[in-house]
Structure 1
Amino acid sequence: MINPQKQQPLCQSSDAGFTIMESLMAMMIITILMLGISPMIVLGVANRVQSRRVELAVQAARAYIDGVRSGAIDHPEHTLEMELDGGKNRSEFAKTEAPKPSNLTCDKNDYCDNKSNKSIYCVDLDDGVCSSDSSRDLIIQAFRSITASGDPANNTDKSYFLGVRVYRADAFKDQGELKIGEKGDKAKARGPGLSDRKAPLVEMTTEITTGTPSYSRFCDRLGCN
């Protein structure tokens, strides 16, 4: 007769799995690590977004200058009563006041205003119009010196210095004053990161010449020796 053997109870081990306390500790450690690296992640994303925005602003500024130079875009009417022969008054020219904030609704690739005291141009990047509610659209402020002849309306000699600033369209949304560059005397792009929304993304100054100026005239304007 075979005697049935008693079944041995299973041996329980302390290594069978995580306890609730161990799980909570692991979650706490992961949370602390995430809190430590999250600012770097946010800053990295902000850098990429702002760098891309500055890149688009530079492209918009160059396209606008090329359009004015070729005649595809009308010359800005905002004219400063100064001629920049020999580089004189360049610093004052670059310190031209920023446009005033206003609610914008402008057609794509057209002037929102083109007057003697304000010339702003729409660069649409989303829905066919520029709006001060858009964080993607760009607004170009353009201003120029008087022509080489001293007459802004003169059609025979339209050589002049052109200043260009590119702002985000949503910088015009509220009543906070728009800003100009910190130095105001040379072209530059704003740095990446969480920059000031009211500051220009890029500033440029160039010379527009519709005719073929003589070498002597060119030297007079740029200060050749």
Structure 2
Amino acid sequence: MILLFLLIYFIIILVVIEIFVILFQMTGLKVKVSRFQVISMMTGTGYTTGESELILGHPIRRKLAAFLISFGAFSLAVIISSVSQFLSNGLRTTEILIGAAVVIIIYCILKIECIQLVLSKLFNHELKHKVELADLPIRDLFLKNKEDILILLPLYKESELADSSLIQLITNHDSLDFAILFIERGDVIIRKNIYDTTLQEGDQLLLFGRKTVIHETFSHDLQIMKEKQKQQSDEI
């Protein structure tokens, strides 16, 4: 009997995971990322990965995450108490089967395409009307087009941009499909006269625009950045 209970409970857990994978997917999160984060939140392990910022930076995902974390702690308590009850008085499986049936029905409903479409519209409506712009994650604000990229480009001493201004090296910047949002120089953020400012080693440029254009325009500095990052990872 206890093996049957554990099997049913295991099925419930798997279905709950898939239910929340669907819900997170409806908020725009990728399936692979959703599944890992759902399992992490339910078990309380691995949630400190960088991908968790995709959850924390999204108001609707935060609400789903809060329920999952609570459910994970609650489900562990249920297993312990149920096993104890079985060992003492015997365990009735009727309630467990009913619970499993309810969870499976919910999962089947969420798999219906029209239901998913309604949920997606509902989540987007909540974001547009009840969420401040500053609360949205960067991905939702800037990277709406798959061809766009947002990158923080550091300048090293080998950089062609060091000791020069952008207007000297990129004469046709007005016609290119990208923008430099600001220059970070230590604790100072430079937003005015960006293209006339003489760049220095250690500056960081926040670039936004079409990926192919940025990679072509800043190919030398991007290559230096990759080499430096690889060198640092090898040292670690």
Tell me the TM-score normalised to structure 1 length: 0.20
Higher-Rg structure is 1
More helix by share: 2
- Structure number with greater CO (CA < 8 Å, separation at least 6) is 1
More strand by share: 1
Tell me the TM-score normalised to structure 2 length: 0.20
